[in-house]
Amino acid sequence: MSIQPRLVEIRRALHKIPEIGLHEVKTSEFLLTQIDLLQKEYIEVRKWQTGILVYVKGFQPTKTIGWRTDIDGLPIKELVKSSFTSKHEGFMHACGHDFHMTIALGLLENLSAVQPKNNFLFLFQPAEENDAGGMLMYNDGAFGDWLPDEFYGLHVAPELPVGTISTRSGTLFAGTCEVRITLRGTSGHAAFPHLANDMIVAATQLVQQAQTIISRSVDPIQGGVITFGSFHAGQTNNVIAGEAELFGTIRSLTQEVNELTQKRLREIVQGIEKSFQCDIELSLEQKGYLPVNNNPRTTQRFIEFMENQPLVQFKEAQSAMTGEDFGFLLSKVPGTMFWLGVDSPYGLHHPQFDPNEAALVHGVTILSDFFKEIDND
């Protein structure tokens, strides 16, 4: 079987079984089955919950080169009709992690076919979407003496054509902070608002004032985003809501801006609390979603290689407000993340996200060549 059909077969099998973070049981079992086919005396495997670490020992190592892939899906009902549509109702690989895993398996197979000079670590990481699995594994000591000297990873880019690779030195993706706010006042009859304390009005004011943080407290050259994607309050038309809940996100390209935005949001919450005589519970959780900062040395080497490949259309990336928990690992280990073009008519996290499978063989081929070159440095 040639590499193309094999990669497509693996991707489609993974696409059928998406699971959310730290519950990737079937996914992990499938990956281990594929990894077992590659076993050699210089390959060792460790498990951490649903995560998997594969260590390829070099014959004359001077460093350990790491490759990270995420393995979780999203709680999204798939609307793409195909022979490999998700079998897990209400869950989908809408962020391309099935592509990420397939490419990682292809790379592992290529780079371990003959014992490499240096050590390689392949990290199949759970919970990128919801619990910062990379941070959890690092903090729990899962890497041990396998922690790499440099780390690499990719993310599929639906807007880029197959054959395109894009990255930049410095900040590629934003750091994120999860925001949950509960406002509690007094419910009452719609006809007697003076006897109640309306939390819809209070929450609306809070959302509007929060939008002034980016426009008036943050340097416009640096920028940031506050988005409240969920607002729940009230039960019916003639009852004043005594409680409201907001759920949102803060995104910024530097940790300093993220911390400033959190500080200003706390101050606004305190002001709303006094103005509307209500109680507000504010939760800010950054978890492990730090900005993805690409190391200048590893990234320049990566860019120079890609610019000289006839099969690659290299494009310098702009910083994006996309969140990625690989930022935590890159805060501990120097490395590079990049975009891989997959030419989907619909974007990431869309129920009709449908990447072009031709990107699988392209990614495996080009990246195998890159890592073989740096293995021989």
Q: Which residues of 262-293 are buried (b: 16+ CB within 10 A; e: fewer)?
A: bebbeebbeebbeebebebebebebbbbbbbb
Question: Can you tell me whether residue 323 is helix, strand or coil?
Answer: strand
Q: Which of 291, 298, 43 is nearest to 150 (CA)?
A: 298
Cα(195)–Cα(188) distance, rounded to whole angstroms? 7
Phi, psi of 157, deg, nearest 5: -120, 105
Q: Which of 134, 140, 262 is nearest to 210 (CA)?
A: 262
Cα(259)–Cα(268) distance, rounded to whole angstroms? 14
The one catalytic residue among 70, 72, 109, 128: 70
Q: Packing angle between helix 3-15 and helix 97-112, nearest 10 degrees?
A: 140
Q: Packing angle between helix 358-375 and helix 3-15, nearest 10 degrees?
A: 110
Contacts 24+ apart (CB under 8 A), 210-218: 210/265, 210/268, 213/261, 213/264, 213/265, 213/268, 214/261, 217/260, 217/261, 217/264, 218/252, 218/257, 218/260, 218/261
| Angle, alpha carbons 321-322-324 (nearest 5°) | 130
Cα(14)–Cα(24) distance, rounded to whole angstroms? 11
Distance of CA 212 to the CA centre of its chain: 27
Please report which residue ranges of 242-341 form alpha helices under DSSP H.
255-275, 296-307, 326-332
| Active-site annotation holds for 70 | yes
The one catalytic residue among 129, 198, 325, 343: 129
Cα(42)–Cα(114) distance, rounded to whole angstroms? 10
Question: Can you tell me whether residue 316 is helix, strand or coil?
Answer: strand
| Active-site annotation holds for 354 | no
DSSP annotation of 193 reads G
Active site residues: 70, 129
